[in-house]
Structure formats: C-alpha cells, structure tokens
Structure 1
C-alpha cells in the first residue's frame, strides 16, 4: 500500500519551491510585458520563428522556400511550432513559454541547492535566481539560450542524483515481487539524464560535447569511490544510449537531405572562421576576441551553403591557427575575459530594440550591480565548499569546466556564459551555507554527502 501524504506535509516539503517558482514567473512576465513589449524576432531568433511557421504552413523544416535545411538544431523551432498550433501564431506565446521554462530553471536551482545545503539556503538561491538579471534577460528573446540552459542544468542535476542511487538489487528484499513500475521509478534519474542530454544536443550542436563530460564523470566515480567501475559503466552506457536513440532520428533525416553525416546541424566552420582571423586580432579594438568573420565568409543559413563550404571554412580557420601559434594565447585570453563581462551586445535583445525605455536603462544599471557580487560569492563558495562538497559537486565542476573551456576555444560573449549562470548561483549558495554552518552546531554542518530526498 502506498503511503498517503497529507496536504500539510506537501506544503512543508514543497511550499518554498512553489514560492520560488511563482516569484520567478512574476518577474519574467513583468519583464516580457514591460521591457520586451512589442519585441520582434530578428537575426537567429527570426530564423527559428520562420522555420516554425514553415513547419506549420509547408510541412517543411526550411529556412528558404521549400529547400530542406540542416543549418539549425531542431528542438526550439519544433517547440515554437507546437505553441503556434495550439495557440495561434502569436510571437508572445514562445516568450510566455520561456517565462515558465525560466521559472523551471529557478526551481531546479532550488532543488539542487536543497539537496546540498538544506531548505533555507535553497530558498536564498531560488530567490536570487528568480531576481537575477543574468537569468531572466534571455527569457524575452527567442534565441536558444534559455532552452539550452534549462537542459544543461537538468542534465547536471540528474547526474548528481544518479551518483547516489543505490543498485536496484539493494533496494528490494530477497524474494520480493517487483513490478515494472517500480523498476522504471528506480531508473527515473538515469532516464532524465539521457533525455536532458538529448534535448541539449538537439538545441545546440555543441551540446554533443557533453558526451565527453559524461565519459569523464564515469571515470571519476570509481576513482572517488562513489560507485564501482561496473555500476558506473553500466549507468553511463544506458544514459548515452538513450540520448543517442533520441538524437539519431534527426541525424538520419539530415542524411536523407545531404547524403552525408550531420549529427544535428552545420555551422561549426562558420564559427571557427569568425573566431580565428586577422580581424579578430588586429581589427576594431572593441571587437577583439569576439566573433568577427572575414569579409568573404559564408553564412551557414544561405540556401546554397553546403558541407563542403563548412569543411573549407574549418580548414581555413585551422590553417590560420597553425600559422599564428604565437598569437593563440592572446586569442584564448580575450575569449576568457569576454566571457565574464557583465554585458555584451546581443543582436535583437529587447534591451537593444528598445534602448530608450526606462526599463532598459534600469536593467543596464542592475546587470553589473548583480553580476560582480555573484561572481565573487561563487568563486569564494567554490573554494570554501571544496573540502566538504567536492564529491557531491563533481558534476557541477565538470560542466563548469566544460563550458568555460568551450568558450575559450571557440569564442565567448555574455550569452555563451548564460548556461552556467545557474551553477554560479549554486556556488554562491555554497558560500552562504559555509557561513551558516560555521555558526551552527547542527549535525547538518558535519555532512559530507547530501541527504537526498526520496
């Protein structure tokens, strides 16, 4: 018989989480209805919205006419199309969806921090996430940032939970009859990790690099004595296999279109070509280290852009890197510095579309005021919690390192830092937790492994 949970128990367990979610939704609705009022999707956002309309009107995943495209990852256009089918072709619908999704990100931050530091610290982290400009700024902008950030945080949290899931044989009594539902529930975090991984890859092609993060996580678990080699390998294979099975239908579709292997989308050649060239190094001082393509660079959304163009651009960028080895450290340093700038220009952001609005001016003041203290608290929190929480925070460290390395190698702006903003807030929560635990004599301050809820 399943135990009946009283409403008072539910409120005690999830009341703070509901409060965080509601606060986050209210803040994002206010942002969309005030600062982003009248927003028009342009640049990449306009392409995603155009693909969604083509999916509905012409049943074609196309950027140009009836020509099938492989230039964009599919998940975000599919979601926009689904919203348009249900509620009509109103550009406000995807932004309202992002209000809920952004609030969902805050909710994940709350539960992550709760499992690590307890409910009070989680409430602080959740409220900070709800009010933090760095986490709601892109919820009024139809780029993929908000969706990818939610998927990446979900993937990180799911693997954090998988670390502490016991073997199924250890959770049941001998001779106990086990039904399929119980087995599925036991594997829910494994399945969640695979689904979040697939969603991240189908949102951004560079999400495929998370397979490397997953592999490194698998190797470190037995070294840190969190799981045996056998259990670690089996769980990692299951997660990777589920993600692969969810991604492979789109890869097969791309093969039918191009007769070549394209995992998710093209565009890496254009990215590299714009990140490694003379203009980036000796051009406009305000553009150094940012993405600045050569004058003759091809755009991967063009109708006649082919995989041969992608390979040619990649080869040109690699050749530039080989002939400018002495300058590469400078480029990498610029990428790293640009990543941490509180605000960098983003094409089509509501702040840029409506710069004269009072709300835009207020947000531009708030961004650095909130960002620099968050950086400082996160850095100190990482240092202070290393001894006590280094094992529980293993996946957080790996994703932080992966994202920073990716930005240093390719190029970075504020929006490429955005996916790790939730992790920075959790690290800042670690600082608050350390201060609280240092002044408390509770048993919780002596924990080395989080007490995960059922």
Structure 2
C-alpha cells in the first residue's frame, strides 16, 4: 500500500541514482579533458595549421581582419562549409588569434562527445557499462587524435554523435508514456516537452550540414529511420503520426538554418550551392587511373586538376570534374568492384597519413612516436570488440539502436563511394566505442561468472574430500 514513507524512500533512491550518474559523467569528462590536454601540450605543442586547417585558419583570420569570408585576399569563397571557420574566428577574437585556444576549444568539444556517448550508454545499459564506455571513449586515440588538429572532423563528430543521441531520445519518447504525460501540461510546457528533442536534433543536424557538405545525407538517414520504425511496427499506429511530425520539425529547423547561407552563396555565384562546392574535385581524385596504382584506392587527383579553393575555380569547373569522374567510371566497369573494395578496406586501416596532423608535423617528438605505436594497439581491438558488441546487442537492442546502425551504414557507404580513409571514419568512432564498451562488460561478466563457478566446484570437491 502506498504511504508517504515509501514515496520519500523511492524519491531518495532516484536522487542517489542520479547523483551517482552525475559523478560518473564528471569522471568521464575530466578524464577525457586531461587526455586531450596532455595530447595538445605534448604532441600538438606549437602546432601550425596547414593544408585544409590552414584554409580554415585563413578564413577565420580574414573574417576578423577584413570582414570577408575569403581564402585569398578579398575574394569571397563558397569552397568551404561555414560553421567551423566562424567558430574559429570567434575563438580567435577572444584569444588574440592564438591557435592553442582553438585546440583547447576542441579539447572541450571532444570531452563533450565522450559525455554524449556515456549518456547514450547509460540510457541503454547498466551504469558500469556506461562508465566503461565513457572511459574508453575518453582514452581512445581514434577520438582524441583530431582534437589537436584544426580540421572540421572533431566538430562534425560531436554534431553527429549528438544528433544520434537526440533521435534515440526522440524514439524512446514516442514509445513511452511520457508522450501522454506531456500532452496534459500547460501550453508552453507541453510544446517544449513534446518538441525538445526534435528542436535539439534540428539544431545539431543544421550544425552538421554547415560543418560538412555531406551532412545533407543525414536528411535521408532520418527519413529512412522514421520509415523503418513505422514499417517494422516498432511504434503503435497512433504514435506514428507524432513521429513523422517530429521528423518534419527536425528537417525544417535544419533546412531553415542552412537556407541563409545558401542564399548568400546564390548571391555570390548566381547559382544554387546548398553549402559548399568541391564534389567534382573529390570525385576526380577518386576515379582516375592514378588510384589503380599502389597504394590503391586513396585520393590521388590527375595532374592539372583544379583545386576548389582556388579563386579561379567555378561551378562550371565543378560540373566538368564531376562529368570527368563519371565518364571514367563508365569506361572502367571491370575496375570498379576492386576499387570499391579497396575503399572499404582502407577505411578500416588503423592509421592512414593525414596532412598536417600534429604527429605528422612533429614526428620526431617522443610523444608522437608513442602515439604511432599506440594507435594500432588500440584501434584493432576496438574494431573487434565493436563487431562483437553489435552481435551481442542485436537481439535485445536492435530497435533502440536503429539510428546508430543507420548512421554507421551511411558513413560506410559514403566511404565506399568516395574513398576510404581513417579521417572519414572519425565521425562514427564514438558509436564503435559504444558497442566495444558493451562487449568489454559482457566479457568481464563472463569471466566473473566463470571464476565463481570454479570456486564453487572447488568448494564442492573440498567438501567431498
């Protein structure tokens, strides 16, 4: 029977559980931050942005000094997605253009990615599994390697991981009684309760699209996710309309936030450029005779290929490069299966050369040499454990992990179509760690149970003796 004492005791249990979860989250974030600070202050000390990072650095500095989103002089560009250069400019504004502070911003963002994975694991599995997963994410080289490197990888990884988490929460919200509870609240409170996860998801989707042009593919992913939830009857009939309503809100928020940048691009070029150019250059570098030479499958543009960051690069050049790549594909159908297989294989290599990475910029440092050794020692076991974790969770959690599977598959598909590289695997590394954490906990549990069984058998033998 219900009484006040039982209510207070249950409430105190909730407080204790939530406080323990908060403490574990703090431990994960602090650990992640310390690892990234150690990486930046040893491997990445005195790092200078070059290659793509140098272009982002130039745009950010030009925004501050000239008020121009441009790479070369005063020539405005549509070659790069805008979010990371604008954030970089803001960091430079408050830090007197110090590169170290941009690295420290990425260290905080990387810690945030580890936190998101911890909360996702805590929502699905046990507290111990979540803590193991969070600590693995905090110390895994595949997650902190890009936090001292001023490319857009770390930002896109954070946005994608957050996007996955918000959709997971949105699916759970539609499945549980929270939906009916939210409908009974006051108007403003009801709107926020019903739409908070879709609002967050829309913001993160927009951020991902404004960080990388291929982020637009996530619009397809979220629609596929909602379609499967309905077709597979994971949601009840009366809740499917609510789900599609939320998906429409997510997509509308994302598109509406990107449209101003698209309009800016149209005014600049008089043509439609949703986020940025460069697809033609990417395809030309992927599909040509050079990529058939060892090492096969890596991006290697033919001589004379126009770079999309050049002032003279136009949308006509982009279309011509795309047509050239498609013509090569049509004329080499016998080479395509092997080439695509190479893309897939290259994607899963523990390490591939990345232009201007701090450990490549300062390879003579002891810390960099240690990192070169550590990467394969961590990466290969993580891949094996992630595969095992996928198998373990498939039966009991495949419905709740649907968005995770779709994001991983879409990223693999993009790597196969374009080109496989460790750098383009970065965005799904947190999701791989999620599965690896489950596998580690299950293996540990099996070992504990096996030890107990051996002790019990030993006790029986002693008793019989």
What TM-score do you get using the length of structure 1 for normalisation?
Answer: 0.92
Instruction: Tell me whether 1:276 sits opposite 2:284 in the alignment.
Output: no
* Alignment CA distance shift 1:368-1:71 (3 Å): same
Q: Does the aligned pair in 1 maintain the 2:31–2:135 contact within 8 Å?
A: yes
Counterpart-to-counterpart distance in 2, 1:114 and 1:366: 28
1:249-268 to 2 correspondences below 5 Å: 249-268=260-279
- Unaligned runs of at least 5 residues, structure 1: 442-454
Counterpart-to-counterpart distance in 2, 1:437 and 1:217: 32
Q: Does the aligned pair in 2 maintain the 1:224–1:391 contact within 8 Å?
A: no
Q: Does the aligned pair in 2 maintain the 1:28–1:139 contact within 8 Å?
A: yes
Counterpart-to-counterpart distance in 2, 1:10 and 1:266: 46
Q: Does the aligned pair in 2 maintain the 1:73–1:204 contact within 8 Å?
A: yes
Matched position secondary structure for 1:171: helix
Partner in structure 1 of residue 139 of structure 2: 131
* Alignment CA distance shift 1:87-1:8 (3 Å): farther
Counterpart-to-counterpart distance in 2, 1:348 and 1:383: 37
Residue 414 of structure 1: how far off its partner (Å): 0.7
- Alpha-carbon RMSD: 2.0
Counterpart-to-counterpart distance in 2, 1:435 and 1:293: 45
Counterpart-to-counterpart distance in 1, 2:227 and 2:17: 39
1:133-148 to 2 correspondences below 5 Å: 133-148=141-156
Matched position secondary structure for 1:325: coil
Counterpart-to-counterpart distance in 1, 2:225 and 2:326: 29
Partner in structure 1 of residue 113 of structure 2: 105
Counterpart-to-counterpart distance in 2, 1:374 and 1:172: 40
Instruction: Tell me whether 1:82 sits opposite 2:72 in the alignment.
Output: no
Matched position secondary structure for 2:285: helix
What TM-score do you get using the length of structure 2 for normalisation?
Answer: 0.90
Counterpart-to-counterpart distance in 2, 1:18 and 1:72: 35
Judging by fraction of residues, say which structure has more helix. Answer: 2
Instruction: Tell me whether 1:195 sits opposite 2:203 in the alignment.
Output: yes
Counterpart-to-counterpart distance in 2, 1:432 and 1:223: 33
1:252-331 to 2 correspondences below 5 Å: 252-281=263-292, 283=293, 285-286=294-295, 288-331=296-339
Residue 187 of structure 1: how far off its partner (Å): 1.6
Matched position secondary structure for 1:330: helix
Instruction: Tell me whether 1:151 sits opposite 2:159 in the alignment.
Output: yes
Residue 119 of structure 1: how far off its partner (Å): 1.1
Counterpart-to-counterpart distance in 1, 2:182 and 2:342: 54
Q: Does the aligned pair in 1 maintain the 2:57–2:88 contact within 8 Å?
A: yes
Partner in structure 1 of residue 221 of structure 2: 213
Counterpart-to-counterpart distance in 2, 1:312 and 1:422: 37
* Alignment CA distance shift 1:293-1:222 (3 Å): same
Counterpart-to-counterpart distance in 1, 2:231 and 2:243: 11
**Which residue, 72, 77, 94 being the options, matches 2:102?**
94
Partner in structure 2 of residue 247 of structure 1: 258
Matched position secondary structure for 1:347: coil
Report Cα offsets for 1:122-151 as digits up to 9, x if no partner: 100111111111110110000001000000
Partner in structure 1 of residue 5 of structure 2: none
* Alignment CA distance shift 1:420-1:248 (3 Å): same
Q: Does the aligned pair in 2 maintain the 1:163–1:226 contact within 8 Å?
A: no
Instruction: Tell me whether 1:368 sits opposite 2:379 in the alignment.
Output: no
Counterpart-to-counterpart distance in 1, 2:74 and 2:443: 60
* Alignment CA distance shift 1:209-1:84 (3 Å): same
Report Cα offsets for 1:372-407 as digits up to 9, x if no partner: 110100001101211011001100000000000000
Q: How many residues align?
A: 434
**Which residue, 35, 49, 52 being the options, matches 2:60?**
52
Residue 230 of structure 1: how far off its partner (Å): 1.7
Instruction: Tell me whether 1:414 sits opposite 2:422 in the alignment.
Output: yes
Report Cα offsets for 1:334-392 as digits up to 9, x if no partner: 10010000000001001111111000110000000001110100001101211011001
* Alignment CA distance shift 1:311-1:262 (3 Å): same
Partner in structure 1 of residue 128 of structure 2: 120
Partner in structure 2 of residue 235 of structure 1: 246
Counterpart-to-counterpart distance in 1, 2:123 and 2:182: 24
Residue 154 of structure 1: how far off its partner (Å): 0.6
Counterpart-to-counterpart distance in 1, 2:209 and 2:305: 26
Report Cα offsets for 1:145-172 as digits up to 9, x if no partner: 1000000111111111110114876115
Matched position secondary structure for 1:432: helix
